[in-house]
Amino acid sequence: MPNWCNNHLTVRSEHDEVQRFKAKAVGHGPWEKPPADEQPSPLNFHGLVPIPADVLQAGYEKAGFDWEVQNWGCRWGAGEAELMDDNGCELFYQFDTPWNPPIAFLKVLGKLWPNLKFLLEYDEPGMRFKGLCKIHGDLCENHCIEF
């Protein structure tokens, strides 16, 4: 059982770009078919940075775990994700990830969505670290401290 990293993500830009991101972010993970009554996550990593078909075909144990850690910085994507607020030009998400913050995922998003600014505040109380990561295009500024 993993320790959970608490994440608060702000996504900021012009209205249309933010709303396109919001729509693309909604979805279900690829590994299991969701129950018919399950609502899609408002922040689905696979919808934004898709797992390649060959990795999906190989399966989670053989290829998926390593791909997620390498490309997202954590396995499983965003757990218990909630869109806390949408004021048009800013989205505020809250979610958990196992063990680590999804810095690698945000770096990919920065390249895919160069007009968006991402600000991630995270803390992992079990391992006693917290931090702040800013992403805009290729620029990444991450400050992590132990407490």
Return the bridge partners of 136, or none: 117, 139
CA angle at residue 125 from 119 to 130, to 5 degrees?
30
Tell me the pLDDT tens digit for each residue of 31-60: 888 888 889 999 999 999 999 999 999 999
10-residue mean pLDDT series, the chain (147 residues):
89 97 95 88 96 95 94 92 96 96 96 97 89 93 83
Entry pTM: 0.92
Tell me the pLDDT tens digit for each residue of 17-29: 999 999 999 999 9
Beta sheet of 4-12, edge-to-edge order: 79-86, 90-98, 4-12, 117-124, 129-136, 139-146
Using alpha carbons, list the distances in angstroms from residue 138 to 4, 40, 109, 110. Answer: 27, 29, 9, 6
Is residue 3 within 8 Å of 126, Cβ to Cβ?
A: yes
Average pLDDT, the chain: 93
Q: What is the per-residue pLDDT for 42?
A: 98
Q: What is the per-residue pLDDT for 1?
A: 62
Rounded CA separation 117/105 (Å): 14
Q: What is the per-residue pLDDT for 61?
A: 92
